[in-house]
Amino acid sequence: MDEQNPQEYRKPAAEELKARLSPLQYYVTQESGTEQPFYNEYWETEELGIYVDIVTGEPLFSSRDKYKSSCGWPAFSAALDKEEIRELEDRSYGRLRTEVRSRLGDTHLGHVFENDPESPNGTRYCINSASLRFIPLEKMEDEGYGNLIPEVTGRE
């Protein structure tokens, strides 16, 4: 994937985010919250396209790497570009997990797990729908993500 230009994506001020995001989106992305499993927007989405950070618009995941998981949240076997995802130690709730955040927006996305038997490669990015915006394949060009169409279709 082409290197993203950090100037293209910026994190708005907290006041703007509070006005633009729903209370759930703000809670998940800015306060490291978690939405309810199985009752979230993209858990069962199978349409072709990309998932971008709802805060900044930076591209994070492709539908090509999304798979059916019993976890109750959208699950991806890989990020579009691992450099766009930051992994941090999370010791909340008395467990050791790996939190994933977007690089430029510092948006809380969810967690990544290894050795997931449902994942095609053993890696499961378990991501909150509230932290994402889905852009369908047919709208990617119009929304400025045309360079990522091969990441969705597998064709150059």
Catalytic residues, by residue number, are 126
Tokens of 6: 């950090």
Token pair for 32: 């490291």
CB atoms within 10 A of CB 113: 16
User: Which residues have CB under 8 Å from 144's CB, separation 6+?
Assistant: none
Alpha-carbon distance of 97 to 112, in angstroms, equals: 8
CA-to-CA separations, 6 to 26, 55, 59, 77, 105, in angstroms, rounded: 22, 14, 11, 24, 10
